[in-house]
Amino acid sequence: MQTKSKSNLILEQSVKRILQELGMDSEREGLVKTPKRVAESLRFLTRGYREDPSQILLKAAFSEKYNQMVLVKDIDFYSLCEHHLLPFYGKCHVAYIPNGKVVGLSKLPRVVNAFARRLQVQERLTQEIASAIETIIKPRGVGVVIEAFHLCMAMRGVEKQNAYATTSEMLGIFESHERTRLEFLSFIRRDVSK
């Protein structure tokens, strides 16, 4: 395995080469440090590969008799589209119904970040978050809804600046019981009159 500094150097050289292939003078004052900055930025934006979402949840799971919906909504996230390496960002809403175990509330946004800070597609991101929660704490059900704005649709391609994508994953009671699913969706619904 490469050392981090050797890996960083290879990444920096690759960015410099990309700049040159785009016709840029990579030695111009404003671009001299760009390869290093981009390499550091990419490491930060993909740090989720170095995080284990299951460990995040396991460290904060504890027994509790609470059996009603637990919801953390409007979790801000940022990710990179794996198709164009352009950002997509938005809100993630996560709910589960405990089955003898709960997790610390702050762990749900941490799990969202661990998966979002990888090269992603929104559909898989939604599924991965729900699956991790289901696998680790084994609740009666999990619901995840993501609303995101994709720069690959806004800046290139169809160039639609106001289009948001919504994805959902409903597991367990959220999938099998309409009332539970509708309760979750009513909690995250936005009041557009405000």
pLDDT value at position 170?
98
Q: Are residue 86 and residue 160 in the same domain, yes or no? A: yes
- Write out the two tokens for 163: 């289009």
Task: State yes or no: pLDDT of 51 exceeds 80.
Answer: yes
**Active-site residue, 152 included:** yes
Top-ranked range on mean pLDDT: pick from 135-144, 148-157, 183-192: 135-144
- Considering 13, 27, 83, 123, which one is annotated as catalytic? 83
pLDDT value at position 193?
46
Q: Which of the four pLDDT bands, split at 50, 70 and 90, describes residue 160?
A: confident
**Domains in the chain: how many in total?**
2
Task: State yes or no: pLDDT of 194 exceeds 60.
Answer: no
Q: What average pLDDT does the segment 74-87 reach?
A: 97
- Considering 152, 175, 177, 183, which one is annotated as catalytic? 152
Domain of residue 20, CATH code: 1.10.286.10
- Considering 12, 120, 128, 150, which one is annotated as catalytic? 150
- Considering 27, 40, 64, 82, which one is annotated as catalytic? 82
**Active-site residue, 13 included:** no
- Write out the two tokens for 182: 């509708």
Residue 140, phi then psi, degrees to nearest 5: -70, -25
Task: Calculate the alpha carbon distances from 41 to 137, 159, 188 in Å.
Answer: 33, 25, 32
50: in domain: no
- Considering 12, 92, 93, 122, which one is annotated as catalytic? 122
Q: Are residue 38 and residue 80 in the same domain, yes or no? A: no
Q: Are residue 135 and residue 183 in the same domain, yes or no? A: yes
Q: Are residue 12 and residue 65 in the same domain, yes or no? A: no
The pTM is what? 0.92
Residue 34, phi then psi, degrees to nearest 5: -60, -45
**Active-site residue, 92 included:** no
117: in domain: yes
Q: Are residue 121 and residue 168 in the same domain, yes or no? A: yes
pLDDT value at position 191?
54
**Active-site residue, 84 included:** yes
- Write out the two tokens for 18: 């990309």
Q: What average pLDDT does the segment 5-25 reach?
A: 94
**Active-site residue, 177 included:** no
Cα–Cα distance measured from residue 187 to residue 148, given in angstroms and rounded to the nearest whole number: 18
Q: Which domain holds residue 115?
A: 60-188
- Considering 81, 92, 93, 128, which one is annotated as catalytic? 81
